[in-house]
Amino acid sequence: MTRRAETLRNSGTVIGGLVILSFTILLAISFGSVHIPMSSILSILAGNKHGISESWLLILWKIRLPRILAAVMVGGVLATGGVSCQGLFRNPLSEPYLLGISSGASLGATIAIVSLSTSGGAGLGAVGLSALIGALVVTTVVFFAAGRTAFRLPSTLLLSGIAIAFLCQAVIWLLMTLNRDQVERISFWTLGSLASAGWSRVVWLAVFTLPTTILLSVMGHIIDVLSTGYDSAHGLGLRPQRAAAIVLGLTALGTAAAVAVAGSVGFIGLMVPHVARFMGGPSHRPLMIRSWIGGAILLVLADLAARTVNPPGEIPVGIVTALFGAPFLLILARGKKGEGRLDG
Amino acid sequence: MHRGVLMNSTRNSRLIVFLLLSAVLLSPLFARGTTESDDSSKNILLTDHYGRKIALDTPPATVVSLSPGITETMFALGYGDRLTGRTEYCDFPPEAARIASLGTLQEPNIEAIVAVHPDLVIASTHFPEEALARLDAAGQKVAVLMGQESFQGTYDGVIRPLALLLGDIPAGESLIAGMETERKNAAAKAAGFPRKPSVYYVVGFGEGGDWTAGGDTFIGEMIRQAGGRNIADDVRGWSFSIEALVDRDPDVILIPAWADGMFQTAPIYKDLRAVRERRVRVIDENIIVRQGPRLAEGYADLVDAIGSIF
């Protein structure tokens, strides 16, 4: 394919993806655990509040819409995190969670839940903030534990991430054992949910995830070079150590912000990059953009399912993504057997 | 009877030793004596929740309770001093803290229980069958007491059989009579409500999603009996959503102690009518869900909380 044709194809995919994302968002706005008639939704969206009940306005503007936008950004950033990890580590099973981000966030959230219950007070944001700090601290520990060879030998970093994830889990279980009255809250948090994503969190997500996503896309060609191996990257005139550190730092920051808001929503970071690769070339910049759109669509749909399968109740969105993600990944892996594309 | 003697004889240590010795030596005689005067049976006989036959010559002098409800009932019946072990969860009455903890509800420490070697282990809800099998294998006598989730179930499944095992049926009946009085007073109050206030019961909220007690839960049933209309009556189980909560905007919101302050200040929740009108009440779930002597008190608390809007 010529370069021009590829660019055209990439733009086509992106535009198509954005159109699908827009429809998905509209679909997600139209349904929820509370049924609001389409005509009322359209008049609310058009700014016509006449004759619309207060609670519907509140539900649409303050609950459903921010939640959907949060799903867009969380899904998007988790997927791009998957792209950068899989590219950097040259490993199809990599995802940002392996860097200790989700276990660190869970540990941070657990500590906040446990300690705030005794001191009382403190807003809801404290748990999310503690999760963010936990994610960043644990990820830093993972990097340092992996030592100097971390970037040259990604397996060291992944191993260190897995070991420290186990350590975090052990501490979480210990805290759950010692604070049995909080076990439910901790498990609900860990399962992942977008239920509490109001506008303040949307702003927060936008501040953290959009710049990191854009920077990662801009750095796409650097990831291209890094994914050929560190020595060859060095040969191509790149300082691979520093480049990899920046890519991973951005990935960790974006993912940590997402996990702090939504909990450890699984499978998106692992799954979406494979799908996105399927729909276009392996070049990382367009791949990153396609993955962001794909992750956004997927999480909005998963959250829509989480909100509507069992009204007026909900199920944690992490259960939905895992339930559909796992078989999907298996099908994908089987379909590609022999092609070696999972490794590409 | 000889329990009273032991309790009043704490002044002189020699007297204690003497009485303990005589109690040990004479207890078989006492037992024989009491059963002879009671001509209906020589033993205490009970069929427990699992249909197991429990036969005792005398009321157990030492009991390990594997349920907070059983521990509370033991104390309420006046036999708290016979407890030689409890679970981590047995936090009421405060005196229970002095009894050694022998594990959790779901994971009782079998070795520790066998080491304490009580005359009887009494378990209730959440008691794993595997633990029962292991205690049986160790030759430990176990009774499992629980009833349907209702007042009647608590009376017939827990309080009456426990009183029977302790050889003090009157204590059980008087405890039940007291609870019935409290329940009837509360029920009369609930019946006098001018309308049924809508109620939302918070199990969890915020980050982890919204969780409540649905219409098919015991708490849901208690809310109904307490004169309230549970806005989650159509829910089976525990799952709810903030959209539905906003839509159904309840008159009263019941929250657990840990959520007090957090719930009322959380985004969206703080705008609920019940929060704005200060109709959020803390309810201790333990009192309601434990099959024990405080059930009537828990029910009365619910009636008061729901009636607080009038």
Question: What are the tokens at B153?
Answer: 């179930």
pLDDT value, residue B102 = 94
Q: Which of A287, A328, A269, A329 is nearest to A98 (CA)?
A: A269
Whether residue A34 lies within 8 A of chain B, CB to CB, comes out as: yes
Q: Which of B209, B260, B267 sits opposite A316 (nearest CB)?
A: B209
Whether residue B202 lies within 8 A of chain A, CB to CB, comes out as: no
* CA dihedral over A134, A139, A142, A144, signed as positive or negative: negative
Do B190 and B243 form a contact (C-beta atoms < 8 A)?
Answer: no
- Strands, sheet with B83-85, edge to edge from the N-terminal-most edge strand: B83-85, B63-65, B120-123, B142-144
**DSSP 3-state assignment of A336?**
coil
Q: Which of B76, B80, B29 is nearest to B57 (CA)?
A: B29
Mean predicted confidence (pLDDT) in B279-304: 94
Neighbours of B224 (CB within 10 A): 16
Residue with more model confidence, A340 or B65: B65
Q: Between chains, do A59 and B247 touch, taking CB under 8 Å as contact?
A: yes
Enumerate the residues of chain A whose CB falls inside 8 A of the CB of residue B211: 184, 188
Q: Between chains, do A195 and B241 touch, taking CB under 8 Å as contact?
A: yes
Residues 6+ apart with CB under 8 A from A144: none
Whether residue A134 lies within 8 A of chain B, CB to CB, comes out as: no
pTM as predicted: 0.82
Question: Which DSSP category does B150 fall into?
Answer: S
Q: What percent of chain B has pLDDT over 90?
A: 72
pLDDT value, residue A177 = 86
pLDDT value, residue B208 = 78
- How many whole angstroms separate alpha carbon B302 and alpha carbon B298? 6
Enumerate the residues of chain B whose CB falls inside 8 A of the CB of residue A311: 241, 244
- How many whole angstroms separate alpha carbon A144 and alpha carbon B154? 57
CA-to-CA separations, A79 to A35, A44, A53, A170, A296, in angstroms, rounded: 31, 32, 38, 27, 8
pLDDT value, residue A136 = 92
Question: Which DSSP category does A37 fall into?
Answer: -
- How many whole angstroms separate alpha carbon A152 and alpha carbon B303? 67
Q: Between chains, do B208 and A195 touch, taking CB under 8 Å as contact?
A: yes
In a 10 Å sphere around its CB, with 0-12 CB exposed, 13-18 middle and 19+ buried, how is residue A14 labelled?
middle
Shortest Cα–Cα distance, A277 to chain B (Å): 33
Whether residue B262 lies within 8 A of chain A, CB to CB, comes out as: yes
Q: Which of B267, B236, B263, B238 is nearest to B252 (CA)?
A: B263
Whether residue A314 lies within 8 A of chain B, CB to CB, comes out as: yes
- How many whole angstroms separate alpha carbon B286 and alpha carbon B284? 5
Contacts 24+ apart (CB under 8 A), B260-267: B260/A120, B261/A120, B261/A121, B262/A116, B262/A120, B262/A121, B262/A122, B262/A123, B262/A124, B262/B206, B263/B202, B263/B205, B265/A123, B266/A123, B266/A124, B266/A196, B266/B205, B266/B206, B267/A124, B267/A196, B267/A198, B267/A200
Do B157 and B174 form a contact (C-beta atoms < 8 A)?
Answer: no
Cα angle A280, A286, A292 (rounded to 5 degrees) comes to 100
Of B11-15, B61-65, B87-91, the range with the highest mean pLDDT is: B61-65
pLDDT value, residue B264 = 93
Do A89 and A157 form a contact (C-beta atoms < 8 A)?
Answer: yes
Do A34 and A58 form a contact (C-beta atoms < 8 A)?
Answer: no
- How many whole angstroms separate alpha carbon A135 and alpha carbon A141? 10
Q: Which of A59, A124, A187 sits opposite B206 (nearest CB)?
A: A124
Residues 6+ apart with CB under 8 A from A264: A97, A102, A105, A106, A190, A191, A192, A318
Residue with more model confidence, A244 or B249: B249
In a 10 Å sphere around its CB, with 0-12 CB exposed, 13-18 middle and 19+ buried, how is residue B104 labelled?
middle
Q: Which of B165, B150, B145 is nearest to B57 (CA)?
A: B165
Beta bridge partners of residue B244, listed in sequence order: none
Q: Average per-residue pLDDT in chain B?
A: 87
Length of chain A: 344
Stretch (H or E) spanning B64:
strand B63-65
Least confident of A47-51, B43-47, B220-224: A47-51
Q: Between chains, do B262 and A188 touch, taking CB under 8 Å as contact?
A: no
Neighbours of B116 (CB within 10 A): 16
pLDDT value, residue A19 = 96
Cα atoms found within 13 Å of the Cα of residue B90, Cβ hemisphere only: 34
pLDDT value, residue A343 = 44
> pLDDT 10s per residue in chain A (344 long)?
577 887 888 888 899 999 999 999 999 999 998 888 888 888 888 888 787 888 888 899 999 999 999 999 999 999 999 999 999 888 888 888 888 888 999 999 999 888 875 433 333 478 888 999 999 999 999 988 888 777 677 788 888 999 999 999 999 999 998 887 788 888 888 888 888 788 888 998 999 999 999 999 999 989 998 888 877 777 777 788 888 889 989 999 999 999 988 988 888 999 999 889 888 878 899 999 999 999 999 999 999 999 999 888 888 898 899 888 888 778 877 776 544 444 43
Question: What are the tokens at A177?
Answer: 């054992």
Beta bridge partners of residue B85, listed in sequence order: B64
Enumerate the residues of chain B whose CB falls inside 8 A of the CB of residue A188: 204, 207-209, 211
Neighbours of A301 (CB within 10 A): 18
Question: What are the tokens at B152?
Answer: 């009647």
Q: Between chains, do B241 and A58 touch, taking CB under 8 Å as contact?
A: no
Q: What is the ipTM of this complex?
A: 0.81
Mean predicted confidence (pLDDT) in B105-126: 92
**DSSP 3-state assignment of B224?**
helix
CA-to-CA separations, B181 to B168, B176, B184, B284, in angstroms, rounded: 21, 9, 5, 21
Shortest Cα–Cα distance, B234 to chain A (Å): 8
Q: Supply φ then ψ for residue A119, to 5 degrees.
A: -85, -15
